[in-house]
Chains A and B, each alone.
Chain A
Amino acid sequence: MSKEIPSYRIDGVITNEKLAELKLLPPEERLKKGPVVIIECPEEIPCNICVDACPFHAISMESISSLPVVDWDKCIGCGVCVSLCPGLAIFVVDMSKDDVAYVTVPHEFLPVPKKGDVVDLLSREGKKLGKGKVTKVWERNKTYVVTVEVPKELALEVRAIWMEKK
């Protein structure tokens, strides 16, 4: 029976391959063009907050319990959905530059990061992948939306940031 359990239900970590399989990973050409969302929401949660949140109507769902479908051409990677998703499951990546990439993550920990801060970059399993500089921070209902500059090869790996408490 255990063979049928998807690995993300055992370790709580999803792979980029699985996201691609669920059509939740933007196609390569789209990633190169500029900021775009990655909704890491593989289960049919009865929730459609992201659909209502998107100012560009880029996210749709068949019913409240369906997986989100992103129209990659409509999404501009603004990050409004990042701030509103109750599962904190939405990220924005910008891979349009040659040398660096930008990853936007939801953040709900103190201290609140500021632009220019250098923070730890964490993977989906909490591994420290290096340091990155914060380039933008905004807040909505206590969820901070933080953009960090990361080495380009880490754009699809960094999913959280961490700052030690003073």
Chain B
Amino acid sequence: MEGYENETIAIALYANGIDLFSWSELGRPRGAFCMIGKCSSCFMVVDGVPNVRTCREPLRDGIQVCRQRGLPEAPTSLEAGLEYAEEKEIKTDVLIIGGGPAGLAAALKAAEYGLNVIIVEDHYKIGGQLVKQTHKFFGSKDLFGGLRGFQIAEMLGEDLKKYDNITVLTETIAYGIFRDLWVGLASRKDNTIYKVKAKNIIIATGAHENYLAFSGNDLPGVMGAGGAQTIMNEYGVLPGNRVVVVGAGNVGLIVAYQLLQAGAKVEAIVEIMPQIGGWFVHASKVRRYGIPILTRHTIKEVKGKERVESVIIVKVDEKYQPIPGSEREIPCDLVLLSIGLTPDTTLLSQVGAKMAWIPELGGLVAYRTKYQETTVPGVFVAGDASGIEEATTAILEGRIAGLSAVIRTKGKIENAVKERENYVKFLEEYRKSPLLARSREGIKKVLIE
């Protein structure tokens, strides 16, 4: 089989028409779901190593990829060709975990004021989920508004090159935070374990897509809407031809539009609520081209042998219960779930930051000051990891967190203090939009002095 350099194993398989990645213990076929290394749907055996996230593993010449069935046996290090990892100890002013919009914005601000910065990124490239956003962003001109997401990622990436006090460790995960802000990093790229002593830690780990319970939800062809965006927008592979989208929030509406751009047919967007969740302008963009949005509808079942062949949707009543007899079968080969995101906050819990369950923000999030500092001094949070919003607020929170690290390390530098106040004020102004009322109310609940 053939693929391109700089694409992942999972993408190369998709491009070759393969979307069955493994079998469950019971022999049920499984496919990819999130495509960004956050779920375990795309695990395969790669060159003898089981449980490799093929959506994160770069393609190499001569690579051997096999499907696994149920839980694989643990390989010996010889079978897996593993070597002992090197160990390195480093010190830094700021360690930023996550190289998306929040993390990059934080790094740029901290570096601008002369701090030494390390960015840890799980993927082999930076930019987070911006890299797959082909639509133009809202907001103001000064904050990348009007640019397409991937263009914002490119700009942030270019800016990063201006600073030699920023180190980017790609293909590296932060596996734990220890006493006195020591952090453990494991690099697949360098086969190295880093022990980092950081004066400040900024957690910008993002979020993952939510799942939904229905019969057949594990069949290949049921995936996260963001997963489909990765496949088509980042790598130029069409994930399906006839699509049903579940959830009419902004993500679902935007993905439906992008599928149409990519040449797929979107059969319907179903939404259990009585009204569209996303912004009207995104809804009208898909309606104009004839895509139906079915409010008060949900997905009942996905049918198919080895992959999605059709979906059964059903109307719901005032109490969101399916109305018997209102079922309708739609033939399709892709079912996308866009039913919300959950912040990735395990490191925050682990470091002992005070957390709260805030449904408006997508789940468990950390208490924070308006300067993005958690209850653990020196540990900051920014972006979707602090509560689900979007890239503009992530960039603002990142800048605030970066400046907070500067002020905490170097004292109250006048410009830094002034700049930070401006961003805090702008963020407040931005969040005044009635369309952002939900997240604004959520943040109020976890804001501390």
Contacts and interface: CB of A to CB of B under 8 A. Distances in A.
B140 A47 contact: yes
B276 A64 contact: no
Interface residues of A, number: 46
A41 B263 CA distance: 27
B432 to A, nearest CB: 5
A109 B305 CA distance: 34
Interface residues of B, number: 42
A40 B137 contact: no
Contacts, number: 134
Nearest to B289: A126
B288 A45 contact: no
B326 interface: no
Interface string A1-18: 110010011111110000
A86 B280 contact: no
B20 to A, nearest CB: 29
A165 B139 contact: no
Interface in A79-129: 84, 86-89, 108-110, 122-127
Given A12-B276, A49-B141, A64-B430, A87 B282 contact: yes
B289 A122 contact: yes
A87 B146 contact: no
Given A12-B283, A160-B288, A87 B138 contact: yes
Contacts of B178: none
Contacts of A126: 287-291
Contacts of B431: 46
B62 interface: no
B275 A49 contact: no
A2 B274 contact: yes
A87 B426 CA distance: 21
A138 interface: no
B275 A42 contact: no
Among A40, A53, A123, A126, residue most surrounded by chain B Cβ atoms (within 10 Å): A126
B435 A86 contact: no
B138 A86 contact: yes
Nearest to A159: B288
Question: Which 6 A-B residue pairings sit nearest by Cβ, starting from the closest?
Answer: A126-B290, A87-B281, A12-B283, A47-B138, A65-B433, A86-B136
Interface of A: 1-2, 5, 8-14, 40-49, 52-53, 63-65, 84, 86-89, 108-110, 122-127, 141-143, 159-160, 162, 165
